[in-house]
């Protein structure tokens, strides 16, 4: 009879036995899975754990600071925040192809992470938030259907790092991980956060990535997400996101003609992200969000809402 409490107790024991007196490193993504894993490992072995949280420059508005505060102040995790945004943006300069973006973002993360590990040879283990569906997907990715999108959650770090893996939630589904997180005292607003992809806003700019575009998209995203929260719609959708389209169109602002970019909004309902329906958000809500974006975000003069379902349309645009 599975309960979050019994899972936590037996897992803590397993981690202690396996790790002994060795040190464990854990990359935090700002998501629920890695946070639950770090908290579990921390309960098991205390400060033998070292967490790393990397700012890849592709996070949401204020995300790096807010999440770091949560890790340090609420969860008391031993975490080192590393601002590597310049390095990521430099490596991504001029890149348009979505898969190429993913590879570069993944490799840059590994470089940054590797430097931390190398400076500290005493790490023996790497803790990861691999979930059961990730395990299944990575197995099926090896089949003839090949990769649709390379989610680098599984097996992302190179073997020469010589770290043994600690994957305490690899037999759990997302809702079970959320329950474990609640039981561990992780705040509810964090537990209920929508999924956010590792490559972040990088795969929501449908062209090459620049600082200016990131700044625009962060404002659009912040308006959409904060309005969903304010109108109590956030928990009704499985995931919501904004994309910056490489399309400019004509508008009028006062007596001036504008020629600016288009923002796409997408919200979906889903159980597991494998299939999804576009969320039928109330029209007055969409009208309000659209008005705010066009009035407040200089550089956007048009907003469209994505009404495609998965399949065939994936949740992300890239
Ligand atoms: P798609 O777009 O494939 O997305 O329908 C399904 C879910 O996976 C997330 N996603 C990613 N997560 N790295 C990640 O960690 C990725 O490269 C990636 N691509 C998509 C997406 O946000 C959605 O929740």
Mean pLDDT in consecutive groups of 10 residues from the start of the chain, 318 residues: 95 98 95 96 97 98 97 97 98 98 96 89 91 77 48 56 91 94 96 94 98 98 98 98 98 94 98 94 98 97 98 97
Q: Which of 108, 242, 315, 317 to mutate to test the pocket of ligand 1 (most atoms within 8 A of CB)?
A: 315
Residues 92 and 105 sit within 8 Å (Cβ to Cβ): yes
**Which of 39-42's residues contact partners 24+ apart within 8 Å by CB, and which partners?**
39/75, 39/77, 39/181, 39/184, 39/186, 40/8, 40/11, 40/12, 40/15, 40/168, 40/169, 40/180, 40/184, 41/15, 41/127, 41/166, 41/168, 42/75, 42/76, 42/77, 42/78
Level-2 CATH architecture, domain 204-305: 2-Layer Sandwich (3.30)
Buried b (16+ CB within 10 A) or exposed e, 95-122: beebeebbebbbebbbebbeebbeeeee
- pLDDT confidence of residue 1: 82
Residues 6 or more apart whose Cβ sits within 8 Å of residue 178: 32, 191, 192
Take atom 14 of ligand 1 and give the residue whose Cα is closest: 197
User: Which of 278, 264, 276 lies closest to 224 in space, CA to CA?
Assistant: 264
81 CB near ligand 1 (under 6 Å): no
Residues 6 or more apart whose Cβ sits within 8 Å of residue 43: 8, 12, 184
- pLDDT confidence of residue 139: 65
Q: C-alpha angle 59/121/90, rounded to 5°? A: 30
- pLDDT confidence of residue 133: 81
Please give the model's pTM, rounded to 2 decimal places: 0.91
How far apart are alpha carbons 191 and 300 in whole angstroms? 32
Q: What fold, for 4-191?
A: Rossmann fold (3.40.50)
How far apart are alpha carbons 159 and 192 in whole angstroms? 33
315 CB near ligand 1 (under 6 Å): yes
User: Which of 238, 303, 244 lies closest to 271 in space, CA to CA?
Assistant: 238
DSSP state of 70: I
Ligand 1: atom nearest CA of 318 is: 2
CA of 316 to the centre of ligand 1 (A): 6
31 labeled part of a ligand binding site: yes
35 labeled part of a ligand binding site: yes
DSSP state of 315: S
CA of 36 to the centre of ligand 1 (A): 19
- Per the DSSP assignment, residues forming a β-bridge with 278 are 268
Ligand 1: atom nearest CA of 29 is: 15
Q: C-alpha angle 316/317/318, rounded to 5°? A: 90
Q: At what angle do helices 4-19 and 32-45 cross, to 10 degrees?
A: 60
Helices (H), the chain: 4-19, 32-45, 63-69, 85-92, 98-118, 132-141, 174-183, 188-191, 211-230, 283-296
- pLDDT confidence of residue 145: 42
Residue spans per domain, the chain:
4-191, 204-305
- pLDDT confidence of residue 142: 42
CA atoms within 13 A on the CB side of 144: 0
- pLDDT confidence of residue 156: 56
Ligand 1: atom nearest CA of 316 is: 2
CA of 200 to the centre of ligand 1 (A): 9
- pLDDT confidence of residue 159: 63
User: Which of 239, 235, 220, 234 lies closest to 289 in space, CA to CA?
Assistant: 220
124 CB near ligand 1 (under 6 Å): no
180 labeled part of a ligand binding site: no
CA of 137 to the centre of ligand 1 (A): 12
CA of 291 to the centre of ligand 1 (A): 28
Take atom 6 of ligand 1 and give the residue whose Cα is closest: 273
Token pair listed for 59:
């996070």
156 labeled part of a ligand binding site: no
């Amino acid at each position: 009879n599975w309960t979050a409490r019994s899972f936590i107790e037996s897992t803590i024991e397993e981690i202690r036995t396996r790790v002994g007196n060795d040190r464990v490193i854990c990359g935090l993504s700002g998501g629920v899975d890695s946070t639950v894993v770090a908290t579990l490992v921390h309960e098991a072995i205390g400060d033998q754990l070292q967490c790393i949280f990397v700012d890849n420059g592709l996070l949401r508005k204020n995300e790096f600071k807010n999440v770091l505060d949560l890790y340090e102040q609420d969860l008391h995790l031993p975490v080192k925040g590393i601002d590597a945004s310049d390095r990521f943006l430099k490596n991504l300069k001029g890149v348009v192809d979505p898969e190429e973006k993913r590879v570069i973002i993944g490799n840059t993360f590994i470089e940054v992470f590797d430097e931390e590990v190398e400076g500290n040879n005493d790490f023996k283990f790497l803790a990861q938030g691999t979930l059961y569906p990730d395990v299944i997907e990575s197995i099926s990715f090896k089949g003839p259907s090949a990769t649709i999108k390379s989610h680098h959650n599984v097996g992302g770090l190179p073997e020469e790092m010589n770290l043994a893996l600690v994957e305490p939630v690899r037999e759990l589904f997302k809702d079970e991980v959320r329950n474990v997180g609640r039981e561990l005292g992780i705040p509810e607003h964090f537990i209920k956060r929508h999924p956010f992809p590792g490559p972040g806003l990088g795969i929501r700019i449908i062209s090459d990535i620049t600082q200016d575009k990131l700044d625009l998209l962060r404002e659009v995203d912040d308006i959409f997400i904060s309005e969903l929260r304010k109108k109590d719609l956030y928990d009704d959708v499985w995931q919501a996101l904004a994309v910056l389209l490489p399309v400019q169109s004509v508008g009028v602002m006062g007596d001036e003609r504008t020629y600016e970019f288009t923002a796409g909004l997408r919200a979906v309902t889903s159980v597991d992200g494998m299939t999804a329906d576009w969320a039928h958000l109330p029209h007055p809500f969409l009208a309000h969000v659209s008005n705010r974006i066009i009035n407040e975000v200089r550089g956007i003069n048009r907003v469209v809402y994505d009404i495609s379902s998965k399949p065939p349309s994936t949740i992300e645009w890239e």
